[in-house]
Amino acid sequence: MSDLRRAQRPLAPSRRPRERGHLALLVLFAAFALLYLLDAARQSLRIDNLSVIAPVTALVLAISGRLIWRILSGRESEATGMTASDSAHPVFTQLWVERHRGVLFALLLVVYLVGLVFWVFDVPTFLFLLAALWLQGERNWIAMTVFSALFSAGVCWALRAMVSFPFDTLLIATGG
């Protein structure tokens, strides 16, 4: 059997338990988000109570639904573009950063939290997002910088509107 034909074969049956595990976890995420929204709505239907919960629930349900559909339709491997035989291919050898990504994210989160304690809010948030995007494999520095700046500004603006106490920012002006 040629290498091309072997690469196009469907996933090996040994990956099915992993798919069931992913499916169960996604169903659990979706159910938790929906139950959380229903509980919040039962407590109060005021907009300030549901302004964050409802959109996040919709996002979780949309993403979970899409991923559940991909798993059930057998397209889970298409998300990465890898097939069962690709793991032995030398092109897919993992770099040190990829092998230690979880530990690096934990360290990055610790550095971010320390930055929040000893510095202002917007700069550590921007730097955390920039580093997190890089760890995930993004290498377009312009897109990373623009996304991190816009998202940090949006989070600062939203927190100013939602919380009753002031918090320090370096680059984003305080609104009176």
Judgement on whether residues 10 and 74 belong to the same structural domain of the protein: yes
Res 89: pLDDT: 43
Res 17: pLDDT: 63
For the chain, the domain total comes to 2
Local confidence band at 75 (pLDDT 50, 70, 90 cut-offs):
low
DSSP 63-102: HHHHHHHHHHTT-GGGGTT--GGGGGSGGGPPPHHHHTHH
Instruction: Read off the pLDDT of each residue in 63-69 and give the average, rounded to a whole number.
Output: 89
Local confidence band at 86 (pLDDT 50, 70, 90 cut-offs):
very low
Q: Is residue 100 domain-resident? A: yes
Judgement on whether residues 15 and 58 belong to the same structural domain of the protein: yes
Judgement on whether residues 82 and 22 belong to the same structural domain of the protein: yes
Res 9: pLDDT: 52
What does the pLDDT look like over 91-110, one tens digit per residue? Answer: 344 567 777 788 888 999 99
Task: Give the H/E segment covering residue 121.
Answer: none
The pLDDT > 90 percentage for the chain reads 27
Rg (CA), the chain: 21
Judgement on whether residues 11 and 85 belong to the same structural domain of the protein: yes
- Cα–Cα distance measured from residue 112 to residue 124, given in angstroms and rounded to the nearest whole number: 6
Judgement on whether residues 124 and 77 belong to the same structural domain of the protein: no
Q: Is residue 11 domain-resident? A: yes
Res 173: pLDDT: 65
Domain finish residue from 42, 72, 89: 89
What does the pLDDT look like over 143-165, one tens digit per residue? Answer: 999 999 999 998 888 888 888 88
Judgement on whether residues 103 and 51 belong to the same structural domain of the protein: no
Judgement on whether residues 8 and 81 belong to the same structural domain of the protein: yes
Local confidence band at 170 (pLDDT 50, 70, 90 cut-offs):
confident
Judgement on whether residues 75 and 142 belong to the same structural domain of the protein: no
Q: Is residue 39 domain-resident? A: yes
- Cα–Cα distance measured from residue 176 to residue 170, given in angstroms and rounded to the nearest whole number: 15
Domain finish residue from 66, 89, 112: 89
Judgement on whether residues 102 and 83 belong to the same structural domain of the protein: no
Range of the domain at 46: 3-89
DSSP state of 15: G
Judgement on whether residues 113 and 150 belong to the same structural domain of the protein: yes
Tokens representing 124 are 């550590």
Instruction: Read off the pLDDT of each residue in 3-30 and give the average, rounded to a whole number.
Output: 67
Domain finish residue from 70, 89, 108: 89
Judgement on whether residues 64 and 102 belong to the same structural domain of the protein: no
What does the pLDDT look like over 113-127, one tens digit per residue? Answer: 998 888 888 899 999
